Amino acid sequence: MLRCSEFVEHVTAVDEGAASASLRFWFQVHRLECVRCRRYLRQMRAVRGAMSHLDAEGQTSPRTGHA
């Protein structure tokens, strides 16, 4: 079983598909059992989604049309 600190440490690897099958399994078990880590995961994914619309200078990509 993962501790919360380990969960946080491995979020990127799991999301990018770079984690082992064993790590993905224990990550999902922990996610199902820990409300704080589920919240953290949602927040991290929201931040990544928002940042994916920015270019290298931190400006909004022209194709999104968002300010």
Task: Write out pLDDT tens, residues 32-67.
Answer: 999 999 999 999 999 998 888 887 666 665 555 555
Measured distance CA(38)–CA(44) in Å, rounded: 10
Domain limits, the chain: 4-51
Residue whose pair of structure tokens reads 């909004």 in the numeric block: 60
**DSSP three-state, residue 59:** coil
30 pLDDT above the threshold of 60: yes
pLDDT of the residue at 19: 97
Measured distance CA(30)–CA(52) in Å, rounded: 27
